[in-house]
Structure 1
Amino acid sequence: MVSPPHEAMHRAFQEYPELFTGVCRALGLSFDPPDSVTLLPTDLTEDRPVERRVDTLVRFDSERDGSLLLAVEAQREKDPDKPAAWAYYLSFLYTKYKVPPLLLVVCQDRATAEWAARTVIIGPAQWPALALRPLVVGPHNMPVITDPETARADLALATLAAITHAKERDVDAILKTLSTALRDAPEAVADPIVELVARGLSSNRRAAELWRNLVAVDLSFYKSWLSEEIREEGREKGLAEGRAEGRVQGLAQGKAEDILLLLERRGIDVPDADRERVTSCDDLETLGRWFDRAITAASADEVFADE
C-alpha cells in the first residue's frame, strides 16, 4: 500500500515542478530554470509487446566472486540505437535476476569496436544518471595466435581470435595455426570449432576459402557440414576409383585429388609434370607430406622441395 509520506515525497514535484530548480540550487548544481514544464503519464508499461532479445546470456556463480550475468552481443557495424537498447538489457536483467550484469560486445572491425567501447552517459551532463560501459573485444585487443601449442592450450580463445580477426590480414596465419592445433583434438572438440570459424569468416570470402582448404587437409573425418561438403567435392571421384583398385590405392588417389584441389583453390599453378607426379604416387606418407606443404606453399616447386 502506498503510504502518505511516499505520496508527499513525489507529489510535491507534480504540484510545484519548479521545485527541481530550487533543489538543484540547494545542492550546488547548475540547472537553469526551464522555459516550459509538461507533466507526462507515469505508467511505464509497454503499450504493445516489444521484442528485446540479447544475443547470448550466461550466468556465472562463484563462491569467491559471487554471481555474474554475462550478456554477449555481436555487433557488426555502428548502430546509434544500440546503446539505449543495451542499457535497457542491463537494467532489465538486474531487475529480473538481482545479479550484477556485464555487457560483452564482440566486433570484427576496429572502427565498430572503438565505437562500441565508448562510455555512454545517460542523463544530464550536470548529474549523469547512468553510465553504460560495455566490455568490447575485437581485432584491436584479441591476440594474434600463430603458435600451435598456444592455440592447443586454449582452443576456445584461438577460435574467437580467428573470428574477430576475420577481416584482418593476419587471419591467414591464425587459421593455419588453428587447423594445425585441431589435428590432435577429439572430434567432439574440433567439430563445433570448424563450424564456428566457417560461419565467422563468411564476411571474408578469401579467408573462408582458405579455411575450407585447411579443413580439407587433415580434418576430413569430422562430421560438420563444412567437412561433408569438402569431402563431397574433393574426394568423391578419387575414392570411387580407388575402391575399384583396392583400399590403399583408393586412399592414395583420394589424397592426390585433395592436394590438387587444395593447390587449385589457393590459385597455385601446377604444371602437367607435377600433376602427373601427384596422381601417380601411391605412398600415403609422401602424399601426407605434400599435403602439409600445400597449405602454405607459394608455388608447386615448394611442395616437392627436397624430394
Structure 2
Amino acid sequence: MPSRDHQMVLELIRERPALAADLLDCVCKGLVPSTTHARLEPADLSEHKPVSYHADAVVTLGKDRAELAVIVEVQRRRDPQKRLSWPAYVATARARLGCPTVLLVISPKQGVSGWAREPILLGHPGLVLRPLVLGPEEVPVLTDGQAVPVPELAALSAVVHGPGPDGPKVFEALLQCMRTIDADRAQGLMDEVIAVLPRAARDLLEGMMKTATGEYKSEFFRNAVREGRDVGLQEGLQEGRREGRHEGRVDIILAMLSARGVMVPDEARARIQGCADLDQLVEWGRRAATADSIEEVLG
C-alpha cells in the first residue's frame, strides 16, 4: 500500500494537474510548452495482457492538443524493477498520446533521488533513458509566502525542508501563503503537510499555527465551519491569535529545541511555560532557532 507522503504528491497533482508542469520546471527549465493547459490522463499504461503498466500519474500539457506528456512517479526507495518498467511507461504513453513524453521521478530522499538519476541503457546504440528527478535539492526553499504563486509548491517545500534548519522560515512562508487562498483549500493542504511531517517538525508547525501567524485550524474556526457560518480565513486567523499567542510561543520554543536536539530540564521547561511576558518569549524563540544548549536560550 502506498505511504501517505507518496499519496500526498499524487493528490496534489490530481487536484491541480498543472502542478506537474511547475515541478518539471524545477528540474528542467524550458521544457514546458509556453501555452499550457494541463489535463489529468488515465494512468493505466497497459498494452496487451499479460503485461500491465500503471504509472502513479500521467499529465498532458498543451492548449488545443497534447504537446507534452509527463509521467509522474513518486519513489521513496530503490526498486530495480522500475528501471525495467520506466522505459515502457514512456514508450507506451508516447504511442497512446501521440506527443513527446518525459518521465518525472519525485523522490524526497537524497540517496534514492541519486539512484533514480542514473541513466537506463536500453541496449540499442544511443537509446538511453535519463529520468528527470525532483529530489530534495530541486524543491525550492520557499521563505516568502506572499511571493509563492503556487500554494501546492509551498506545501511541498514545507514537507521537504521543514524538518531542516530552514524549518521556521519555510513554515512561516507556508502560513503566509495559506492566508491568500480560500479556507477549505488551505485546510486541505495543511492537513496533508501535517500528516507527513516527522514529529519534531510537526510540533514546530502546529506551535506556529497558534501564534501571531494565526491558527486557522482553531476550534473556533472548525466549529464555525460545522455550523455553516460564513467565516473567512482571516477571521479564523484572528481568533487563533486571541486564543493561543502565549501557548503558541511556548510550543514554538520547545519544538525548536527538540528539533535541534537540545535537552530541556524540568526546571527550564517550567520557567518557559510559566513566563507571561510575550516579548521575553519572542526573544527566547529567536535564540532557540540557533541554540545548542538551554543556557544559550535562557541566558
TMscore range, shorter length: 0.5 to 0.7
8 Å Cα contact 1:71-1:104 kept in structure 2: yes
User: TM-score by structure 2 length?
Assistant: 0.58
1:142 pairs with one of 139, 145, 150: 139
Ranges in structure 1 where 5+ consecutive residues have no aligned partner: 1-43, 233-249, 279-286
Q: Are 1:156 and 2:152 matched, yes or no?
A: yes
Q: Which residue of structure 2 lines up, in the alignment, with residue 238 of structure 1?
A: none
| Structure 1 residues 143 and 91: CA distance shift in structure 2, 3 A | same
The two structures, once aligned, show a CA RMSD in angstroms of 4.2
1:207 pairs with one of 186, 201, 205: 201
Shift of 1:73: 1.0
User: TM-score by structure 1 length?
Assistant: 0.57
Shift of 1:259: 4.1
Q: Which of structures 1 and 2 has the larger relative contact order (alpha carbons within 8 angstroms, sep 6+)?
A: 2
Q: Are 1:175 and 2:175 matched, yes or no?
A: no
Ranges in structure 2 where 5+ consecutive residues have no aligned partner: 1-46, 224-239, 258-263
8 Å Cα contact 1:54-1:89 kept in structure 2: yes
Letter in 1 for 2:117: A
Q: Are 1:186 and 2:187 matched, yes or no?
A: no
* Inter-partner Cα distance in structure 1 for 2:241 and 2:69: 50
| Structure 1 residues 272 and 162: CA distance shift in structure 2, 3 A | closer
| Structure 1 residues 251 and 162: CA distance shift in structure 2, 3 A | closer
Moved more, 207-216 or 98-107: 207-216
Shift of 1:117: 1.7
| Structure 1 residues 291 and 207: CA distance shift in structure 2, 3 A | same
Shift of 1:105: 1.0
* Inter-partner Cα distance in structure 2 for 1:94 and 1:77: 26
Letter in 2 for 1:161: S
| Structure 1 residues 62 and 292: CA distance shift in structure 2, 3 A | farther
| Structure 1 residues 191 and 112: CA distance shift in structure 2, 3 A | same
8 Å Cα contact 1:59-1:68 kept in structure 2: yes
Letter in 1 for 2:80: P
Letter in 2 for 1:59: T
* Inter-partner Cα distance in structure 1 for 2:139 and 2:243: 41
| Structure 1 residues 254 and 74: CA distance shift in structure 2, 3 A | same
| Structure 1 residues 53 and 145: CA distance shift in structure 2, 3 A | same
Shift of 1:122: 0.5
Q: Are 1:92 and 2:92 matched, yes or no?
A: yes
8 Å Cα contact 2:103-2:132 kept in structure 1: yes
Shift of 1:104: 1.0
Shift of 1:86: 1.2
* Inter-partner Cα distance in structure 2 for 1:155 and 1:178: 8
| Structure 1 residues 172 and 77: CA distance shift in structure 2, 3 A | farther
Q: Which residue of structure 1 lines up, in the alignment, with residue 36 of structure 2?
A: none
Letter in 2 for 1:61: G
Q: Are 1:277 and 2:276 matched, yes or no?
A: yes
Instruction: Classify the secondary structure of the residue corresponding to 1:136.
Output: strand
1:196 pairs with one of 192, 208, 217: 192
8 Å Cα contact 2:207-2:248 kept in structure 1: no
Task: Tell me which structure has the larger Cα radius of gyration.
Answer: 1
Q: Which residue of structure 2 lines up, in the alignment, with residue 243 of structure 1?
A: none
Letter in 1 for 2:85: A
How is 1:120-131 mapped onto 2 (pairs within 5 angstroms)? Answer: 120-124=120-124, 127-128=125-126, 130-131=127-128
Q: Percent identity?
A: 25
Instruction: Classify the secondary structure of the residue corresponding to 1:73.
Output: strand
The size of the alignment, in residue pairs, is: 223
